[in-house]
Structure 1
Amino acid sequence: MHLTLHADYSLRVLLYLAARPQGLVSTQEVSEAYGISKNHLVRVVQALGKEGFIEVRPGRAGGLTLARTPSEIPLGRVFRATEPDFHLVECFNKAENTCPIAPACGLKGVLYEAREAFLAVLDKYTLADVIQRSRKDLADFFLPPAAAGGP
């Protein structure tokens, strides 16, 4: 299983904002912190805003901030909102299934159960849980080397 960049970047944006709760953050700042294309990040930010995970304030004095507290952002909901589909195998998508053994195959049920278990685990955690499990200096990872005390 491999998550799309959209889902991956969505989680990164949320982590960044949770690690920087003191004010608005620019899309450019997030882009530079992760080395992600700003153009791609803009689409991620728009989707997160539309889903109500973040607040997007346009303009020069604008920026991004979490729309809810980290404890109110369930990871399962983030994944369901940002991952386009969870079709682990072709036969999960009935409209495009061309597998000749699909009607008799027992693997489909096992993979379906595995997918549901994956989502059930994510449903148990919030963004706050992930931040709590992170190192206390998570926010420092986003500082430029000079500001973090580096060379």
Structure 2
Amino acid sequence: MRLTNYSDYALRSLIYLAVKPEPHRLANISDIADSYNISKSHLTKIIHQLGQLGYIDSVRGKNGGIRLACAPKDINLGVLIKQIEPDFALVECFVVPATNNETRKGQPDSELILIDTTALPSISKLGCVISPVCQLKSVFFEALTAFMRVLERYTLADIINNEAQLAELLS
């Protein structure tokens, strides 16, 4: 399993906002991009989605910026990743549906669902010939489910318990 840069940058952005020295002061996208040496334009899309999902508040105007919309303890990593990661299909023979945005902010989502694409003739014809009898897809699904369960055990607060060290490196 490999997360996209999008998810990586989303997590880094939330870490930045959680550990900035003056929590009530608004940050801006340029500050975050400069701290991590990442693309501002790519980060803009990520921040926009985090705002839509309710993780970040945006304030417009001359003195505007962004800040966390909720406490770090209320941001569940597994829920966040399921909301922003575009695809959990480790192999072509199974698909994980998109998550429901209503379950965000610390509430674990429903179990991941394995869809056997052999029931979908147009898809199975494009896929692996052994898919109807393959045991490997259940192993991958079990691994993916375990991965997500581990992420669901942690919040943003859990990964910023070294706040002072993080803040120093990001300043």
Determine the C-alpha separation between the residues in 1 that align with 2:46 and 2:87: 16
> Would you say 1:126 and 2:155 are equivalent positions?
yes
Matching residue of 2:140: 111
2:28 pairs, out of 26, 32, 40, with 26
Equivalenced residue count is 142
Instruction: Tell me how far 1:37 sits from its aligned partner.
Output: 0.7
Secondary structure class of the residue paired with 2:93? helix
Give unpaired runs (5+ residues) of structure 1: 144-151
How far apart are residue 100 of structure 1 and its match? 1.0
Once the two structures are TM-superposed, the CA of residue 59 in structure 1 deviates from its matched residue by 2.1
Other-structure match for 2:9: 9
Q: Tell me the residue number matched to 1:147.
A: none
Query: Partner of 1:88 in structure 2?
Result: 90
SS at match of 2:54: coil
- In structure 2, what is the equivalent of residue 149 of structure 1? none
The separation in 2 between residues aligned to 1:4 and 1:64, in whole angstroms, is 23
Q: Tell me, in whole angstroms, the C-alpha distance in 1 between the residues paired with 2:169 and 2:158.
A: 18
Which residue identity does 2:44 align to in structure 1?
A: V
* One-letter amino acid matched to 1:107: L
- Consecutive unaligned residues of structure 2, counting only runs of 5 or more, are 96-116
Counterpart of 2:167, as a letter, is A
* 2:19/2:164 contact within 8 Å kept: no
Amino acid at match of 1:61: N
Percentage of identical aligned residues: 44
Could you tell me how far 1:22 is from its partner in structure 2? 3.7
Counterpart of 1:146 in structure 2 is none
Q: What is the deviation of 1:67?
A: 0.4
Q: Residue 136 of structure 1: CA displacement? A: 3.4
Match of 1:61 in 2: 63
- Displacement, 1:119? 0.4
Q: Partners of 1:6 and 1:59 in 2: how far apart?
A: 26
Q: CA deviation at 1:57?
A: 1.4
Residue 135 of structure 1, CA deviation: 5.9
Aligned partners of 2:29 and 2:43 also within 8 Å: yes
Q: Which runs of 4 or more aligned residues in structure 1 lie more than 3 Å from their structure 2 counterparts after TM superposition?
A: 93-97
Give the CA deviation at 1:82: 1.2
The alpha carbon displacement at 1:49 in A equals: 0.4
Aligned counterparts of 1:12 and 1:99: Cα–Cα separation in 2:
37
Give the match for residue 164 of structure 2.
136
Change (3 A) 1:26 1:135: closer
Letter in 2 for 1:8: D
Amino acid at match of 1:115: L
Residues 37-76 of structure 1 mapped to structure 2, 5 A cutoff: 37-76=39-78
Q: Residue type of the partner of 1:103?
A: P
